[in-house]
Amino acid sequence: MGTAALTSLVSSAVARPAENDCEVFSSAFWGQPANSVTSLAFVVAGVVIAVATRGPAQPRRLMYAFLVAATGIGSFVFHGPAPSWSPIVHDAPLVALLAFVAADAVSDLLGRRLSDVWWVAPAAVLIIVAGAVGSASTAVQGLAGVGAVSATVIRAYARPSARRTILTAGVVVGAGALIGTLSRSGGPLCQPDSLLQGHAIWHVLAAVALVLLTPVIGRVTAGRSAGLR
């Protein structure tokens, strides 16, 4: 892609959708350099998960790997060239990933695999709702996030064999979320012109946490959890 085409793509953004993430936008294709480049940590994480996965859980973990990588690609578009349609490309795979994690945890708790509709539908709803009311995508993301965290916490309580894995991933993603929150525009850690961005650190730690969570993905313990009977 030539320089003129890149410039055209950048200028197609109606408004920079990631401006709340502190880092100043440049006029280059990379947009927010630190935030866009570290978005690729999710792509790397997806590749690592896909290459390392083996055994009966492989099909589920390959889908998980795909959603992790797709989240990275959407994030790169969102923080980089940022065309007007970038929020959908950013939000849809993220919501699908969160819903997938929630459905996977519930499957383990129930002792049976839930239909893929449980994670495909939320992403489809987001696309439809966001098309009509753009601000609603934040609410859908929030609901998917709460669902993923809640189901995974319950899974950790009900499945002692998965507890250490979930706790480790939770500590890593929690640290990233805290840094990312404090680094939002106007936050105490926000330094718009710095290459060391809190949101970029969030990207990296979230990607690491997703890799760490992999051993419990696709695992379904026979029989419903005693706590749900």
Domains and CATH numbers, the chain: 22-220 (1.20.1070)
Pair 158, 226: CB distance under 8 Å:
yes
**pLDDT higher than threshold 70 for residue 68:** yes
Predicted local confidence at residue 213, as pLDDT = 98
**pLDDT higher than threshold 70 for residue 92:** yes
Predicted local confidence at residue 12, as pLDDT = 38
Q: In angstroms, rounded to a whole number, what is the distance separating the alpha carbons of residues 127 and 122? A: 9
DSSP result, 57-101: THHHHHHHHHHHHHHHHHHHHHHTT--TTHHHHHHHHHHHHHHHH
Q: For 159-202, how does the pLDDT look when each residue is reduced to its tens digit (9 = 90+)?
A: 999 999 999 999 999 999 999 999 999 999 999 999 899 999 99
Q: In angstroms, rounded to a whole number, what is the distance separating the alpha carbons of residues 184 and 59? A: 37
Q: In angstroms, rounded to a whole number, what is the distance separating the alpha carbons of residues 180 and 75? A: 15
51's tokens? 């290459």
Q: In angstroms, rounded to a whole number, what is the distance separating the alpha carbons of residues 202 and 178? A: 8
**pLDDT higher than threshold 60 for residue 73:** yes
Torsion on CA atoms 152, 153, 158, 159, rounded to nearest 10: 60
Q: For 105-148, how does the pLDDT look when each residue is reduced to its tens digit (9 = 90+)?
A: 999 999 999 999 989 998 888 778 765 565 667 778 888 999 99
Pair 109, 155: CB distance under 8 Å:
yes
**pLDDT higher than threshold 80 for residue 16:** no
Measured over the CA atoms of residue 222, residue 156, residue 54 and residue 89, the dihedral's sign is positive
**pLDDT higher than threshold 80 for residue 226:** no
Pair 39, 203: CB distance under 8 Å:
yes
The whole model's pTM is what? Answer: 0.87
Pair 220, 161: CB distance under 8 Å:
no
Residue 152: how many other CB atoms lie within 10 Å: 22
**pLDDT higher than threshold 70 for residue 69:** yes
